[in-house]
């Protein structure tokens, strides 16, 4: 396993680095990211420490147990966050979408791997440089604490999702949760993009791929959703919400 010490993965020639073309002030995810609390002069300070990094589909941003030397802000695309269990099984812990920060945890090594589900663009900061900025800006620290609290709530919801819900409820909850995350990023639509495959959904929800496919087909036949290329259209939100409520 290669260690990321300035490069960005295991697939040669698939990642590219560079300064932001338009600057942090024009970043399309600034208003939904932790850096939304920064003023323009503070953004310039942060921008001086940043590099844009792009990934192709299938490339790893970082791997499980690799040194956590950088933090990343997802600007475009989606990543799959996975953990390899001791018995060799893979568990999909979640999915990173635009506006999400990765690598903020205090541990010295990454607890998960992050792999691009398609073309991805991130803003990368050396962890020590980013920490130094945070120390001088209490409002940025508060923003990080709020994001950490949100992620803790998501983790608690995931535990409930895995342990107490039926397969149909899990799939409905996942679709609604994904729709809500896209809405927070300014992409409010009845059509929910699914950059992840059904096997990824299954490994995230604690189901088999056959069960996920069966549940999606059942919801489609019931006219609660409409399966479309690359995603699903949520036709009956009240019904899906009732399923998610259990």
Long-range contacts of 1-4 (CB under 8 A, 24+ apart): 1/63, 1/65, 1/66, 2/63, 3/66, 3/67, 4/62, 4/63, 4/66, 4/67, 4/69, 4/70
In a domain, 158, yes or no: no
CATH code (residue 85): 2.60.120.10
Q: Are residues 127 and 202 in the same domain?
A: no
- The partner residues of 53 in beta bridges, in order of sequence, read 17, 122
CATH code (residue 241): 1.10.10.10
Q: Are residues 39 and 112 in the same domain?
A: yes
In a domain, 29, yes or no: yes
Listed in order, strand segments (DSSP E) in 127-229 are 191-193, 225-228
pLDDT for 33 equals 72
Residues 163, 155 contacting (CB under 8 angstroms): no
Residues 98, 110 contacting (CB under 8 angstroms): no
Q: Are residues 40 and 114 in the same domain?
A: yes
Q: Are residues 146 and 189 in the same domain?
A: no
Q: Are residues 52 and 93 in the same domain?
A: yes
Residues 186, 32 contacting (CB under 8 angstroms): yes
pTM of the model: 0.80
Q: Are residues 194 and 229 in the same domain?
A: yes
Domain extent, residue 114, equals 16-152
Among 152, 186, 211, give the residue marking a domain's end: 152
Among 117, 152, 187, give the residue marking a domain's end: 152
Among 130, 152, 174, give the residue marking a domain's end: 152
In a domain, 8, yes or no: no
pLDDT for 181 equals 86
pLDDT string in tens for the chain (246-residue length): 222 334 454 433 344 455 445 566 667 776 667 677 677 777 777 778 888 899 999 999 999 999 999 989 899 999 999 999 888 888 999 999 988 888 877 678 999 999 999 999 998 989 888 888 878 777 777 777 676 666 666 666 666 666 678 999 999 999 998 998 888 777 777 899 999 999 999 999 989 999 999 999 999 999 999 999 999 999 999 999 999 887
Q: DSSP label at 27? A: -
CA–CA separation, 227 and 225 (whole Å): 6
In a domain, 5, yes or no: no
In a domain, 28, yes or no: yes
Q: Are residues 197 and 113 in the same domain?
A: no
Q: Are residues 241 and 192 in the same domain?
A: yes
Neighbour-count burial of 225, counting CB atoms closer than 10 A to its CB (0-12 exposed, 13-18 middle, 19+ buried) = buried
Beta strands 90-96; 191-193: pairing state: unpaired
Q: For residue range 181-198, what is the model confidence (pLDDT) as tens digits?
A: 888 777 777 899 999 999
Burial 171-186 (b: 16+ CB within 10 A, else e): bbbbbbbbbebbeebe
Q: Are residues 113 and 141 in the same domain?
A: yes
Q: Are residues 79 and 132 in the same domain?
A: yes
Q: For residue range 123-134, what is the model confidence (pLDDT) as tens digits?
A: 898 988 888 887
Q: Are residues 212 and 147 in the same domain?
A: no
pLDDT for 221 equals 97
Residues 43, 73 contacting (CB under 8 angstroms): no
Q: DSSP label at 211? A: H
Q: What's the number of domains the chain is made of?
A: 2
In a domain, 9, yes or no: no
In a domain, 4, yes or no: no
In a domain, 159, yes or no: no
Q: Are residues 133 and 171 in the same domain?
A: no
């Amino acid at each position: 396993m290669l260690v990321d010490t300035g490069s960005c993965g295991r697939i040669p020639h698939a990642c590219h680095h560079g300064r932001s073309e338009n600057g942090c002030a024009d970043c399309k995810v600034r208003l939904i990211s932790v850096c939304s609390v920064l003023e323009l002069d503070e953004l310039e300070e942060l921008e001086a420490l940043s590099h844009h990094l792009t990934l192709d589909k299938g490339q790893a941003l970082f791997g499980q147990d690799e040194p956590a030397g950088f933090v990343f802000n997802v600007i475009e695309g989606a990543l799959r966050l996975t953990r390899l269990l001791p018995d060799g099984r893979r568990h999909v812990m979640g999915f990173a979408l635009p506006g999400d920060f990765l690598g903020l945890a205090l541990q010295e090594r990454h607890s998960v791997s992050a792999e691009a589900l398609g073309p991805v663009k991130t803003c990368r900061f050396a962890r020590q440089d980013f920490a130094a900025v945070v120390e001088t800006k209490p409002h940025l620290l508060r923003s990080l604490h709020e994001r950490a609290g949100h992620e803790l709530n998501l983790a608690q919801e995931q535990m409930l999702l895995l342990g107490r819900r039926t397969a149909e409820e899990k799939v409905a909850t996942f679709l609604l949760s994904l729709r809500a995350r896209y809405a927070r990023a300014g992409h409010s639509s009845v059509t929910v993009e699914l950059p992840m495959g059904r096997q990824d959904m299954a490994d995230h929800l604690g189901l088999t791929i056959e069960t996920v496919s069966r549940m999606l087909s059942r919801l489609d036949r019931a006219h609660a959703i409409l399966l479309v290329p690359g995603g699903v259209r949520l036709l009956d939100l009240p019904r899906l919400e009732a399923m998610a409520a259990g």
